[in-house]
Structure 1
């Protein structure tokens, strides 16, 4: 294709189903999104929605980098997919202020497509890449929505908030937590997708929509975790756990502890303060938010944190799901730890231990296999690189045993 400007509504042929890059330029901050669609211009599932927190389609046909540049490879689109829409969302501004220009490059040739006719809209589809017969074409669409992100994604078949889950006739959608209305559109998009994934897993596990549980996150802050803290993996884990709390806890808040030799109870994490909370409380050293992290120590001692959580939760009227993240330990006081977990089987607490990294988790595996308990109240799995596992995979692992414990604990009258 020769270099030229593509006006609104115009289309032109590509050189074939070969990779092309799409770059969006504008005077204001724009979040770039992409949708892999069929002839009905709808996604077939959440994986067909590509954005900053889900930056690649499973097929590899569409990828989004951290600069907002989209690469589309039509030859890799899955069967049934015939087009890709490239869209944008503006935060707190209208697209009439943006002066948008899209630059498409393929095989050394470029086409520019200005965003034309956009005024009060806050989201838009700018470009459509589509198959017509044996040919692949691009069109300058420049079609916008005043309703912003929600209208844009709903128009492409992506569920938002309280829409029903496919195959669950009449089932309530994901719960909305206080504070969500304060989030930016892109942060809301991330939260919405994660909530839907948690909600879907709970439905598949036949957890009744009305079930409520306290969700507690325990974070290892020993010095062996330093790389995970430095690279932001721990902070991201905190944000990935919030959607679990929104779908189980009455107030949608995530309770939190950090531990090493000693432990500390931290303020609850709410959806609207997640980033602020991470900046204030996710640390290995120093004094932050009234907590002396140096005093907590730098090596593992599990008994104090286990005893603290039990003391705080033993009288809970609701079930308690403890998400316990650690990169090892559980070697000192092993028999005492096993005894404590066994005795805690009579309490309304389920312990989901998550090993992160490539350490030896033998003692934790043993906790998952303790005999003689009134109910199995502990689960364990390990992930070599938790930053690389998808949200859906992580939630499936986190919630794999909790529903079974709920049923067993009710039958054994552990739960009221």
Structure 2
């Protein structure tokens, strides 16, 4: 049997398949499926297969038992690109899907034997377990393991099914009362694979914010990227490119317009165009450089050695009183101006800016390593951690470390009247 982890996929043959949901205690969840067109929506409500409508119009998908779907790929219409199979907590089940540790699904038949164990769910009451989809003239299956805190209604609406009755307002403190994962402009233009990857990352960011009671927070999100000569290996291996892609998920959940405001820095700095979910891939190719002139930006003029003070002062000069700013500052170290940087950080502690410094690679980070012990600040306005190999750090771990101190700063800054 092949076991697919969250986000993994494999090719399957056309044929008659059985999709069996496992690990669900009787009465805990309802099993359902959606036939989706290329816009990721059902063509009509008849494409929603559940206990009251157990068969798709063409008979390609049938809820043949309480927790088992029969899928005949040969009978699936050509304008259906994806079959998503999902679960939603029953009204009488008051917990979340995380309370079902063995939850998962198995696909068998036509020479196929694949299991999709669920992972990464915490507060969700409905989730897509997996998807069978067309790609390049073949059928493939993917472990999705992504869900909705508010349960059934949000699940079906996401897939284009109308819901006549609005659910009763949830009481404070219940899982379904939590804010949903935020969607931003441009996501609808992404390919299937790119949107799935972004969705998974957004959910990890959302979980961290949820655990810190910081969902719904809005702040200007800035990313500062080291382009000194010592970063050559990180650029050549496109480590920096992947960092930018991962940071975009943070902006989608926190920034006012869901975009990153980027700066390249060395001895000088350059403000480069904003990064959105729609342009991130082309942006990394157009603007992540160490030398030369690209899109009208002279990277040689920015320099090859580092001086953090100019870019930090530039950011502070653009602050709007009362509007929080989260600065994601990526560097490979070399902060040698301990005294001036310490003086700046103390003065900046009265401004609505939180500085999250992230060290990339093995290096000497100087004053950054003493931030937690720095005295004389109005509030603790900075965090720092270093990663020898950021590519080896999972999204959930990266976002936990990245966002662990920002919500605490928001609370402290509010108490100190830095924020309203």
When normalised by structure 1's length, the TM-score is 0.67
RMSD, aligned α-carbons: 4.1
**Alignment partner of 1:121 out of 80, 91, 105:** 80
Matched, 1:390 2:394: yes
Matched, 1:285 2:291: yes
**Alignment partner of 2:196 out of 186, 189, 200:** 189
Structure 1 residues 283, 396: CA separation in 2 closer, same or farther (over 3 Å shift)?
Answer: same
Secondary structure at 1:336 match in 2: helix
Aligned 8 A contact 2:332 2:361 in 1: yes
Paired residue for 1:254?
Answer: 260
**Alignment partner of 1:200 out of 198, 207, 226:** 207
Secondary structure at 2:175 match in 1: coil
**Alignment partner of 1:340 out of 341, 344, 360:** 344
- Please give the alpha-carbon distance, in whole angstroms, between the structure 2 residues aligned to 1:351 and 1:159: 31
Deviation at 1:185, TM superposition (A): 1.3
Paired residue for 1:329?
Answer: 334
Deviation at 1:155, TM superposition (A): 11
- Please give the alpha-carbon distance, in whole angstroms, between the structure 1 residues aligned to 2:149 and 2:296: 36
Structure 1 residues 263, 90: CA separation in 2 closer, same or farther (over 3 Å shift)?
Answer: farther
| 1:225-246 deviations in Å (ceiling 9; x for gaps) | 1111111110111111111111
Secondary structure at 2:79 match in 1: coil
- Please give the alpha-carbon distance, in whole angstroms, between the structure 2 residues aligned to 1:92 and 1:160: 19
Paired residue for 2:405?
Answer: 401
Aligned 8 A contact 1:90 1:123 in 2: yes
Paired residue for 1:48?
Answer: none
Question: Which moves more between the two structures, 165-174 or 241-250?
Answer: 165-174
| 1:161-207 deviations in Å (ceiling 9; x for gaps) | 98679972311211111111111111111111111111110010111
Aligned 8 A contact 2:12 2:112 in 1: no
- Please give the alpha-carbon distance, in whole angstroms, between the structure 2 residues aligned to 1:194 and 1:384: 21
Aligned length: 316
Secondary structure at 1:158 match in 2: strand
Deviation at 1:281, TM superposition (A): 0.6
Structure 1 residues 160, 227: CA separation in 2 closer, same or farther (over 3 Å shift)?
Answer: farther
Which structure 2 segments of 5+ residues have no match? 14-18, 29-35, 41-71, 86-104, 115-130, 135-139, 156-172
Paired residue for 1:158?
Answer: 146
Aligned 8 A contact 1:322 1:351 in 2: yes
**Alignment partner of 1:138 out of 86, 94, 113:** 113
Alignment of 1:14-413 (within 5 A): 24=11, 38-40=22-24, 116-118=74-76, 119-124=78-83, 138=113, 158-159=146-147, 168-207=175-214, 209-313=215-319, 315-331=320-336, 333-413=337-417
- Please give the alpha-carbon distance, in whole angstroms, between the structure 2 residues aligned to 1:227 and 1:351: 25
- Please give the alpha-carbon distance, in whole angstroms, between the structure 1 residues aligned to 2:108 and 2:338: 62
Which structure 1 segments of 5+ residues have no match? 1-16, 27-34, 45-88, 94-113, 147-151
When normalised by structure 2's length, the TM-score is 0.66
